[in-house]
Amino acid sequence: MRVAMIGTGYVGLVSGACFADFGHVVTCIDKDPSKIERLERGEIPIFEPGLDDLVARNVREGRLFFTLEGAQAIKEADAVFIAVGTPTRRGDGHADLSYVYAAAEEIAGLIDGFTVVVTKSTVPVGTGDEVEAIIKKVRPDAQFAVVSNPEFLREGAAIEDFKRPDRVVVGTDDERAQAVMRDLYRPLSLNETPIVFTGRRTSELIKYAANAFLAMKITFINEMADLCEKVGADVQSVAKGIGLDKRIGGKFLNAGPGYGGSCFPKDTIALVKTAQQYGAPTRLIETTVEVNTARKKAMADKVAAAIGTTNLTGKTIGVLGVTFKPNTDDMRDAPSLDILPALQAMGAKVQAFDPEGAKEAAHMLEGVEFKAGAYEAAEGADALVILTEWDQFRALDLDRVKLLMKAPVVVDLRNVYKPAEMVRHGFTYASIGRGR
Ligand code: UGA
């Protein structure tokens, strides 16, 4: 099969490389010349474990191409994927679909023979209808079907998630398009991955419903964590105790500083907006958004409480991890972007370390000093905050950390350490939802 992938962001690049690895011939198209140049040289613009090797191998074996000029690839393609960004639109919170529609116009002028046009970007319900209308308007004669095929991969585990997904969702009633999609995902049938064929609007909604449900699940356990702290209970045991019930499931029940990233914050807000627009408000998700926003400010207060004063003037806070989760350099909507400025507003000087995110974060976190390592971030600090659970923070030399710090206060917002162990090492230790 021949695939054209428009957009080489996270989803486009990972999906393109994985489809090539399945044996398809894939051309990834992007309008950004510097990005294409870097990719052609084998440089991957994002940090994602395993992606550089996967791209290099498929380029070497002649199945994966990068280009600024996608006309030929789109003409020859059996399937053209739209994997461009859908950021939150300034002012009203809806998803900005201008890149999706621009891609649809470009495709319309080039379609040659029956072509499946697939929206992989996360798009609100009804976007597929609009893409279809755009193509029909430009090319009333074109033979095509517009399919929704949302992506469920997680940053940091993207290749594994693409190649071994829990399910693939394909939204189209067109039988020819269904056959093309089945062929594209054929390698997954070896591990019996279910393909859910459904209507296009349903498929579009499944993506938002999945992300909103997960965001709500995290927010639920975060609220339970707050309650645990008050009543003297342990949130990790609560998560285990409820998660073993298969109807609930144990995943995404890690309490923390609030969800962040390029998807949950944006997609929950977009779903709320769509639901309001259609007169069917999703109150649970509205509340989820509110609770998660408030939580980030509350995390700064938690740090101040551990130090014992709300006036942090003259205090230095060391921070370990600023990305929204480990194994990524992505800073989009990272909780650090709210928590660190809130600490600064209370007067603190903040010094931080992140294994991959520092470069990006340095532009976004004004006044934060970035250090070369975890111990450097601890040096002279009145409190050390573990904000992202990178593996390298899991086995710190605690005695060394204590010696380096001005005061031995650790605020562990990811529950990486055990309270008893930290107390044994002489730390004042605060974590999430461990009231006993
Ligand atoms: C999320 C979904 O998990 C993917 O299925 C989806 O494809 C993707 O969004 C998307 O829409 O593109 P991602 O944003 O990469 O993936 O990261 P997650 O692993 O879901 O984490 C999101 C946030 O939730 C992070 O800030 C993380 O720290 C937080 N989280 C996650 C928790 O606080 N607790 C948990 O138990 C799990």
Minimal-distance CA residue to ligand 1 atom 13:
154
C-alpha to C-alpha distance for 77 and 27, rounded to whole angstroms: 9
Amino acid at 48: E
Q: What is the 3-state secondary structure (H, E, C) of 160-214?
A: HHHHCCCCEEEECCCHHHHHHHHHHCHHHHHHCCCEEEECHHHHHHHHHHHHHHH
Residue 154 C-alpha to ligand 1 middle, in angstroms?
6
18, 28, 228, 263: the active-site residue: 263
Q: What is the 3-state secondary structure (H, E, C) of 232-261?
A: CCEHHHHHHHHHCCCCCCCCCCCCCCCCCC
55 within ligand 1 shell (Cβ under 6 A): no
- For residue 40, the Cα-to-chain-centroid distance in whole angstroms is 25
Minimal-distance CA residue to ligand 1 atom 30:
259
Q: For residue 156, which atom of ligand 1 is closest to its CA? A: 15
Q: For residue 10, which atom of ligand 1 is closest to its CA? A: 12
Residue 266 C-alpha to ligand 1 middle, in angstroms?
12
Helical spans, DSSP H, in 308-416: 336-345, 358-364, 374-378, 398-404
Amino acid at 184: L
Contact 263, 122 (CB under 8 A): yes
Tokens coding 368: 């934060």
C-alpha to C-alpha distance for 48 and 13, rounded to whole angstroms: 11
Q: Tens-of-pLDDT digits for all 436 residues of the chain?
A: 999 999 999 999 999 999 999 999 999 999 999 999 999 888 999 999 999 999 999 999 999 999 999 999 999 999 999 999 988 888 887 889 999 999 999 999 999 999 999 999 999 999 999 999 999 999 999 999 999 999 999 999 999 999 999 999 999 999 999 999 999 999 998 889 999 999 999 999 999 999 999 999 999 999 999 999 999 999 999 999 999 999 999 999 999 999 999 999 999 999 999 999 999 999 999 999 999 999 999 999 999 999 999 999 999 999 999 999 999 999 999 999 999 999 999 999 999 999 999 999 999 999 999 999 999 999 999 999 999 999 999 999 999 999 999 999 999 999 999 999 999 999 999 999 998 7
48 within ligand 1 shell (Cβ under 6 A): no
162 within ligand 1 shell (Cβ under 6 A): no
Q: For residue 335, which atom of ligand 1 is closest to its CA? A: 26
Complete domains list, the chain, with CATH = 2-193 (3.40.50.720), 199-436 (3.40.50.720)
Check: complex ipTM more than 0.95: yes
Q: Among residues 367, 234, 374, 383, which one has the least CA distance to residue 305?
A: 383
C-alpha to C-alpha distance for 167 and 221, rounded to whole angstroms: 25
- Kindly give, in sequence order, each residue whose CB lies less than 8 Å from that of residue 20, ignoring residues fewer than 6 positions away: 26, 58, 63, 64
261 within ligand 1 shell (Cβ under 6 A): yes
From 84, 164, 252, give the residue whose CB has the most ligand 1 atoms within 8 Å, as the site to mutate: 252
Phi and psi torsions of 68, nearest 5°: -85, -30
Q: What is the DSSP letter of 148?
A: E
Minimal-distance CA residue to ligand 1 atom 23:
259
28 is catalytic: no
324 within ligand 1 shell (Cβ under 6 A): yes
Minimal-distance CA residue to ligand 1 atom 1:
154
263 within ligand 1 shell (Cβ under 6 A): yes
C-alpha to C-alpha distance for 33 and 26, rounded to whole angstroms: 18
Amino acid at 279: G
From 214, 328, 329, give the residue whose CB has the most ligand 1 atoms within 8 Å, as the site to mutate: 214
Q: For residue 254, which atom of ligand 1 is closest to its CA? A: 36
154 within ligand 1 shell (Cβ under 6 A): yes
Residue 159 C-alpha to ligand 1 middle, in angstroms?
15
Tokens coding 416: 């990486």
Amino acid at 167: R
Phi and psi torsions of 46, nearest 5°: -120, 160
C-alpha to C-alpha distance for 91 and 302, rounded to whole angstroms: 31
Residue 376 C-alpha to ligand 1 middle, in angstroms?
29
Task: Give the tens place of pLDDT for each residue, 311-370.
Answer: 999 999 999 999 999 999 999 999 999 999 999 999 999 999 999 999 999 999 999 999
